[in-house]
Amino acid sequence: MSKTLLLGNEGVAQGLYEAGVRFVSSYPGTPSTEITEAAVKHDEIYCEWAPNEKVAFEAAFGASLGGARSFCAMKHVGLNVAADPLYTASYIGVNAGLVCAVADDPGLHSSQNEQDSRRHAVASKVPMLEPCDSEECRDFAVLAYKLSETFDTPVLLRLSTRISHSRSPVGLNERREIPLKDYEKNVSKNVMMPSQAKAAHKKVEERLLKLREYAETSGINRIEWGGRDIGIIAAGSSYVYAKEALGDGVSYLKLGMVNPLPIELIREFAAGVKKVVVVEELDDIIEAHCRRYGINAVGKELFPFTGEFSQATVRSAILGIEPPYRELEDGALPRPPMLCAGCPHRGLFYALRGLKLYVSGDIGCYTLGANAPLSSIDSVLCMGASVSGLHGFNTARGKEQAKKSVAVIGDSTFVHSGITGLIDISYNQGLSTVIVLDNSITGMTGHQNNPANGLTIKGDPTAAVDLEALARAVGYRRVAVVDPYDVETTRKTVIEELEAEEPSLIISRRPCALLKYVKHSTALSVDAEKCVGCGSCLNVGCPALSRKDKKALIDPEQCLGCGICASACRFGAIVKEGK
Amino acid sequence: MSVKNILIVGVGGQGTLLASKIMGRVYLEQGYDVKVSEIHGMSQRGGSVVTYVRYGDKVWSPVIEKGEADIVISFEELESARWLPYLKPDGVLISSTQRLDPSPVIMGKAEYPENILGKISALGIKVIPLPADRLAAEAGNIKSANIVLLGAAARRQDIPKDVWIEAIRASVPPKTLETNLRAFELGYAE
């Protein structure tokens, strides 16, 4: 059969298609986003972007109860948001199969923490599968539906950046159409009040025992005998790193199911090798499990709790070797990510820069406003926390502080979980000023539509959240809209709203410069006669600007003519080309 | 066949992903096992980006580590310096001579280093410098520099030229095809 190169995420989507899934609801989050973007290409699957992961999980749960095989995807921190429905969905179980993919990010390629989502599987007592390449992503997605329906449980599918974002060959199969299941009212199963939940918890414990039996015997966890001096226990990316580094020189217990873990199978494996080594990125979950059952295993003595592994990590920890390589004596200058040329966020941050404010930040492209030279953000915690965190900060420090601080939050993040913070401010008589950076798209994850831009996941027109009306509805009387390319007006507006003795919402509105429909002005250029080489324009931190021969220089290939740098120039030296 | 490792490095937005996608298609077409690993998300915003391409009879890991790459295809000089340690000492560095200032240089905190490719050559590394952006402009669009570099890499592998051309045909939008094929030929000639 001919195979196609698919991302791990596309492999999962292919599995959803083959398994007859009908309903997908997700919130974008690197590295999980492409699952839903690939699923939506199949007309047989209803797909949507939800406002956040909790809503996505609950919608998928509802669809499962309604009889459709259903799915949601999120990044590791997204599962924290969806943890509430997950833990009780574990008690209720499913009607049609319910699977949630969660993508971890060891090495923090695009995240604010490095948490290990296997902990959620253990704590919520649901099975978790972990594939090691794109073909297994497909296979495990299909298998997850079988397990979900056989064991009456939601199933977690754990991915990681390397598995999600690596392409490997997948043989494509046909879709198996699964008819919608009947819905039957069943209060003792589907309504979780204390009396029902007590009984349900007992069932969950019994289910875990049955799942453990499955983990022991089904073949999803398998022993590959090789050299007997060392036996490696690993799953997912750690397994392929170990195979790459150690080949057939050692034996493997390859785990496909990471919760619950087998006991007897591990004992059998351990008895067949001289030394058991657990290779697992992030936490020591498998290793601690071995110890708990008296199986001698080493893991974190050899491997770190932090960062992403590779074959080099395994090779150096177990064999103590490293291939030779050459490098330049002075290495290479760092190249940190920065806001794109023409990014509207730059104008807003440049307007804030001179005001010496406390800026409560949030999660998105605009988090880069924390980096030099804009250096405009004081704190970033999690999605939505800019707004609620600002309320706490200002309340703790008193009324005057509210005149010296703002929150900045993107449109998608605001809908995700900023609205509740806004209500917290107005309800509790706070004075905080919140700035929504409305660029009409979910940017950092690669341009997904969202409830505020009036387009569905398929790009069809739909109702858009009216941010101005929403702010008024929750009690904000002061709502201002500014264009961040107009730095002066933006700065003036921020000053005005900070002075007001009531809370304000400022909407800094301009679409992302990378959106295809956005028309740009012609590139700007530097009038060398007027440029004194002071470098003020370089403080806007634009990739199109540099300094050459003590004068500013604009790269016409990159410049989108936004004019933010021109507003930083006191000498009028930055001008439209040809003027 | 033992596994071959190709590292594609550049700056976010330079089109490294398209190049790796075409390579992956070619090797799969030739019957090899293939893994291509990409990074999406935050680092794409003007940061240093890397794509790993590995092919052979059986490929386990999707990543390439220090001292493992047979070829490094670099879209930018400073990135050549950054990723040099990933090249085998007897590997080949195909580097564009394009220079894009990183933020420390933009802000005037550092100078862009001089003669990077010369210094790398002096370490005994085989370097193929390529004015990829000039050749791309010659082909009709400066954005096709990625395909120029792909052309230069293609000539150094045992795979017929028309297989590459077919893969480009299947991977790029039809209206950019002619430009991309010209870009490939210009790179292939280098």
SS (H, E, C) A214-243: HHHHCCCCEEECCCCCEEEEEEHHHHHHHH
Q: Which residues of A touch B78 (CB under 8 A)?
A: 332-333, 335
Buried b (16+ CB within 10 A) or exposed e, B21-42: bbbbbbbbbeebbbbbbbbbbb
CA–CA separation, A565 and A545 (whole Å): 9
Rounded Cα–Cα distance for residues A287 and A318 (Å):
16
- Domain range summary for chain B, segments of one domain joined by +: 4-188
Q: Is B129 helix (H, G, I), strand (E, B) or coil?
A: strand
CA distance B35 to chain A (A): 5
Of A154, A127, A159, A160, nearest to A70 by C-alpha is: A154
Measured between CB atoms, does A311 come within 8 Å of chain B? yes
Say if strands A166-171 and A222-224 run parallel, antiparallel, or are unpaired.
Answer: unpaired
pTM of the model: 0.97
Indicate yes or no: CB of B66 within 8 angstroms of CB of A312: yes
Query: Which residues on chain A are in Cβ contact (under 8 Å) with B62?
Result: 133, 162, 166, 168, 237, 240
Nearest to B36 among A5, A237, A331 (CB): A5
Q: Give the dihedral of Cα atoms A279, A281, A285, A287; nearest 10 deg.
A: 20
Please say whether the beta carbons of A254 and A235 come within 8 A.
yes
CB of A447 less than 8 A from some CB of B: no
CB B8 within 8 A of CB B32: no
Q: Which residues pair with A482 in a beta bridge?
A: A508
**Cβ distance of B48 and A335 shorter than 8 Å:** yes
Residues paired with residue A526 on neighbouring β-strands, in sequence order: A574
CA-based nearest residue to A543, from B91, B120, B21, B12: B12
Residue A60, helix vs strand vs coil = helix
Say whether A381 sits in a helix, a strand or coil: coil
* Chain B: closest CA distance from residue A52 (Å): 18
- A116 in Cβ contact with A287 (< 8 Å): no
In this prediction, residue B43 carries a pLDDT of 56
Q: What number of CA atoms fall less than 13 Å from residue A404's CA on the CB side?
A: 11
* CA-to-CA separations, A43 to A175, A458, B41, in angstroms, rounded: 12, 11, 27
Report chain A's C-alpha Rg in angstroms. 27
Contacts of A370 (CB under 8 A, 6+ apart): A361, A376, A377, A380
Quick check: B59 and B35 in contact, CB under 8 A? yes
Question: Beta partners for A223?
Answer: A253
Mutate to test the interface with B, among A335, A366, A368 (most CBs of B within 10 A): A335
Contacts of A244 in chain B (CB under 8 A): 60-61
**What is the token pair recorded at A129?**
């599968």
Q: What per-residue confidence (pLDDT) applies to A354? A: 84
Out of B11, B104, B108, closest to residue A333 by CB: B104
Phi/psi for A168 (5° steps) reads -150, 165
Contact residues for A393 (Cβ-Cβ < 8 A; gap 6+): A358, A360, A401, A405
Chain-centroid distance of CA A437 in Å reads 19
Nearest Cα residue in chain B from A237: B61
**Cis upstream peptide for A323 (omega within 30°):** no
Which residues in chain B are closer than 8 Å to A243, comparing Cβ atoms? 60-61
DSSP string, A418-484: IHHHHHHHHHTT---EEEEEE-SSBTTTT-B--TTTTB-TTS-B-----HHHHHHHTT--EEEEE-T
The DSSP code for A261 is P
Instruction: Compute the count of residue pairs across chains A and B with CB atoms less than 8 Å apart.
Output: 190
Cβ distance of A538 and B107 shorter than 8 Å: yes
Q: Which two tokens stand for residue A479?
A: 């709502």
CB contact under 8 A, B107 and A541: yes
Contacts of B53 in chain A (CB under 8 A): none
* Cβ separation B107–A539 shorter than 8 A: yes
Q: Is A337 on the interface with B (CB under 8 A)?
A: yes
Per DSSP, the three-state class of A91 is helix
Q: Which of B66, B44, B14 is nearest to A165 (CA)?
A: B44
Query: Would the pLDDT of B51 be above 80?
Result: yes
Q: Bridge-partner residues for B37, per DSSP? A: A166, B52
- A43-89 residue pLDDT tens: 999 999 999 999 999 999 999 999 999 999 999 999 999 999 999 99
Residue with tokens 């590295």: A31
Asked if the Cβ–Cβ distance from B40 to A31 is below 8 Å, we say yes
> DSSP secondary structure string, A271-290?
HHSSEEEE--SSS-HHHHHH
Q: Does A161 touch chain B (CB under 8 A)?
A: yes
Cα(A318)–Cα(A231) distance, rounded to whole angstroms? Answer: 11
Are A337 and B40 an interchain contact pair (Cβ–Cβ within 8 Å)?
A: no
Q: Do A3 and B89 touch (CB under 8 A)?
A: no
Residue from the list A169, A240, A327 with its beta carbon closest to the beta carbon of B61: A240
Amino acid at A365: C
- Search chain A and give the residue with CA nearest B126: A326
Other beta carbons less than 10 A from residue A496's beta carbon: 14
Contact B68 A327 (CB under 8 A): no
CB contact under 8 A, B60 and A324: no
Q: Is the peptide bond before A154 cis (omega within 30 degrees of 0)?
A: no
State whether B61 and A243 contact (CB < 8 Å).
Answer: yes
Under an 8 A CB cutoff, do A30 and B41 touch?
A: yes
* A310: contact with B, CB 8 A cutoff: yes
- First-to-last alpha carbon distance for chain A, in angstroms, is 62
Q: What's the pLDDT at B107? A: 83
Around Cβ A465, how many Cβ atoms within 10 Å? 16
Query: Angle at the Cα of A139 (from A138 to A143), degrees rounded to 5?
Result: 120
CATH of B4-188, one of 1.25.40.80, 1.10.3720.10, 3.40.50.720, 3.40.920.10: 3.40.920.10
Partner residue opposite B47 with nearest CB, options A310, A327, A335: A335
The full set of domains in chain A, from first to last, is: 3-217 (3.40.50.970), 222-319 (3.40.50.920), 344-509 (3.40.50.970), 524-576 (3.30.70.20)
Calpha distance A538→A97 (Å, rounded): 55
Nearest by CB: B28 against A3, A162, A165: A3
Residues of chain A contacting B123 with CB distance shorter than 8 Å: 326, 328
Quote the tokens at residue A552. 């500013």
Strand partners, B128: B94
Inspect the interface and report whether the beta carbons of A324 and B89 lie closer than 8 Å.
yes
**For residue A514, what is the DSSP state?**
T
Contacts of A543 in chain B (CB under 8 A): 46, 100-101, 103, 106
- Report pLDDT for A579: 46
Quote the mean pLDDT of chain B.
93
Q: Which chain B residues are closer than 8 Å to A310 by Cβ?
A: 61, 63, 65
Helices (H) and strands (E) in chain B, counts: 8, 6
Q: State the nearest Cα–Cα gap between A240 and chain B, in angstroms.
A: 5
CA atoms within 13 A on the CB side of A109: 28
Taking 70 as the pLDDT cut, the residues of chain A under it are 1, 577-579
Three-state DSSP class for residue A160: strand
CB pair distance less than 8 Å for B45 and A338: yes
Q: Which residues in chain A have their CB less than 8 angstroms from residue B110's CB?
A: 333
Residue of B nearest to A551 (CA): B108
Instruction: Tell me which chain A residues have a C-beta less than 8 angstroms from the C-beta of B70.
Output: none
Tokens encoding A48: 């949507």
Class of residue B182 by CB neighbours under 10 A (exposed 0-12, middle 13-18, buried 19+): buried
Q: Which two tokens stand for residue A231?
A: 């036996």
Distance (Å) from the C-alpha of residue B176 to the closest C-alpha of chain A?
Answer: 17
Reported residue count of chain A is 579
Average pLDDT over residues B172-188: 96
Q: How many CB atoms lie within 10 A of CB A429?
A: 10
Whole-Å CA distances, B17 to A46, A356, A425, B45: 29, 40, 44, 14
